[in-house]
Structures are given as C-alpha cells and as structure tokens.
Amino acid sequence: MEFSINSKGNKQVRLHDFKPGRERFRAEVLSGLRKAQKELPSKYFYDEQGSCLFERICALDEYYIPRTEAAIMETYIEEMVELLGPRVLLIEYGSGSCAKVHILLDHLCDLAAYVPIDISREQLLRVTKDLTSNYPRLEVLPVCADYTSGFELPVSKHPNERSVVYFPGSTIGNFDAIPAKHFLEHVAKVCGPGGALLIGVDLKKDPSVLHRAYNDSQGVTATFNLNLLERINHELNGDFQLGWFEHYAFYNPREGRVEMHLVSLRDQKVRLDNVTIPFAKGESIWTESSYKFSVDEFEQMAATAGFNVEHVWMDEQQWFSVQYLVNKS
Ligand code: AVJ
C-alpha cells in the first residue's frame, strides 16, 4: 500500500503503509488476555497518546536512557561516521519523534536516503514533513509498519555503499531471547552482507536505578502503561476501568529484565465487544519486558544472528552502550 498526503506548503509526503489494522490488534489483544499469565504486546503502547506519554518519559531525570545514549552519540559521533563510511542508506526502526537520528543526519553528509519506520502513522507524517524542510536535499522515505512483521523497503533514487539499520533506545530489550534472535536475523537480511546495525543496548546495572527509571515519581510511566487499556477501550470497544488496575514494574534479576504489569485491584470482568475476560484480584497483565544485557551477552546473541560486534561505545558509568555490528555473511 502506498498513499500520498498533501501537507501545508504543497509538499507531498509519500508514505509506504503496512500498519497492522484493527483486526490484527484485536486478535493479538484477545489471544494475550486468554493466556494463563495475561499479556499484551508492548508495541501497542504507541498510539498518538502513548507516543506523547513516551516523549514525556524520555524527558524525566529518572529515565536515564535517552540522555545517556545522546551523550554517547555526541562524544563518539566522529568515530561512528568513520565506521559507517560514505553513501549510507540509513534505515531507522521505530523512528518515533526522530529526536535521536538528527546527530547522524547532521554528520553523515552524503546519505543515499533516510528510511524512518514507525507504527505511529500520525507521528511519522509529522516528522517526515519536518525533515524534508530541515534537510531539503535528503531523500526521506517513510514506512508505516510494525517492523516485527513484514514490510517492503522503498527504493531510493541514489546509489548507496551500504545499508545501515539504526535501532536506538534499547528497544531490542523489548524482545524475549528467541524473538530477539529472529529480529536480528531479519535486520541482517534487510541490511544485506556487509551491511551494518547501529544499536542502543541498555546494560545491567544497580537494580535501584532501574526501579526508579520504571517507577518515576510523577507517575508518567504508570499513565503510559494504563494508556494501553484506554486504547483498547477506544479502538476495540472495551470497558476497562482504569482505576481498577495499577501499574507495577520491577527488575527480575534472574531473567535480567524489567517487567511491567497492570495488576487488577479487585475481582472483575472486562468486556471487549461480545467477549468477557475475568480478572481475579491481584492478577496481572504483563505489558512489557525490558531486557538489560552485559556486553558479552549481547555479543553472543548478535553472533547467533550472523552479526559481528565491531565497536562498543559506553558512558563512564557503563549504564548504556551504542554498538556497531556488521553482517558477516
Ligand atoms: C522504548 C522500549 C526502550 O523499555 O525502556 C519506557 C519503553 N517502558 N518506560 C523501555 C519504556 C517504560 C522503553 N523502550
């Protein structure tokens, strides 16, 4: 699917659209809520409201990831540009507000094209308009998709030396081990032999730091988590009472991940159209995992997908890493 939207100033934004529809959303929600441990896919956090709440999380002091990652990028950008080389086709997975990619767009001056991929169509259109006016010579090819399932890469006008997938923010942490491996294999295929992955990977650290990051004092993360129920109410005709669920996030050291849940505060029944889902008091919906890695753990996982870790940049506290991986095949 492909369509054009006329924005102010007459510039056409051509969007390659593979966004999962309502039926897919409904099927995934129902199958998740029918499991013994109820769960919902974290990718559905990011509707208009959810993307907005996530931007607010990123501005919190307690949520150390964005500022730590940005500092690493700023400190080592010259080295990164050197490794990426000339005429890169830059593909960003989960581009969101595109806040993170600016430093790359500013320093990779001869980019073949930039392909932002995101599940939030509205945000994608907005940022594409901004990018085309801020970088008039840059070819921007937006793709609206759930990158965990299929989409086709648009074809750029300019030849490129190599494809580089940019995947910042440690979103890789949202995948369990096997899906993470499959995802990396998919990325290896997209960027091709000799292609590369520049990825933000959150590292294992003092659990109290993690606890604060996912239980912020202003309750923005709690609102972000609960917004998923709000979205289901709106889009799938649900009747979740948001006040009857509570945000619960903790670090699970054995699994090396932060888990976010929504805990039912009472026995209750929730309806989605004609389907009834019972909840016992204290039962939870597992809404997100955020895995934290050691450098070695990540290197091993990358290797199973055919990637060689060529460089790891870290902050002084070693809280976060940006890693450059090359497809060996
Ligand atoms: C965008 C997936 C990296 O897991 O830290 C922020 C999302 N969840 N606070 C993360 C999130 C709760 C975030 N990622």
pLDDT digits (tens, 9 = 90+) for 142-187: 999 988 777 888 999 999 999 999 999 999 999 999 999 999 999 9
CA 171 – ligand 1 centroid, Å: 7
What integer pLDDT is reported at residue 2 of this predicted model?
52
% of residues, the chain, pLDDT over 70 = 96
Is-contact 103 81, C-beta < 8 A? no
Any atom of ligand 1 within 6 Å of the Cβ of 173:
yes
Sheet holding 284-291, edge to edge: 38-39, 284-291, 257-264, 245-252
**Most informative mutation of 171, 199, 205 for ligand 1 (most atoms within 8 A of CB):** 171
What integer pLDDT is reported at residue 11 of this predicted model?
54
Q: Is the pLDDT of residue 115 over 80?
A: yes
Q: Report pLDDT digits (tens) over 44-100.
A: 999 999 999 999 999 999 999 999 999 999 999 999 999 999 999 999 999 988 889
* C-alpha 299 chain-centroid distance: 20
d(CA 214, CA 258): 8
Of 166, 6, 198, 24, the C-alpha closest to 96 is 166
Q: pTM for the full model?
A: 0.93
Residue whose CA lies nearest to ligand 1 atom number 1:
171
Any atom of ligand 1 within 6 Å of the Cβ of 170:
yes
Any atom of ligand 1 within 6 Å of the Cβ of 142:
no
d(CA 292, CA 219): 22
Atom of ligand 1 nearest to the CA of 42: 2
User: Using 50, 70 and 90 to split pLDDT, how confident is the model at 9?
Assistant: very low
Any atom of ligand 1 within 6 Å of the Cβ of 169:
yes
Q: Which pair of tokens denotes residue 324?
A: 């450059």
CA 85 – ligand 1 centroid, Å: 30
Please give the residue that has the higher pLDDT: either 5 or 39. Answer: 39
Q: Is the pLDDT of residue 4 over 80?
A: no
Q: Which pair of tokens denotes residue 212?
A: 């604060």
**Most informative mutation of 123, 211, 290 for ligand 1 (most atoms within 8 A of CB):** 290
Any atom of ligand 1 within 6 Å of the Cβ of 216:
no
Q: Is the pLDDT of residue 7 over 70?
A: no
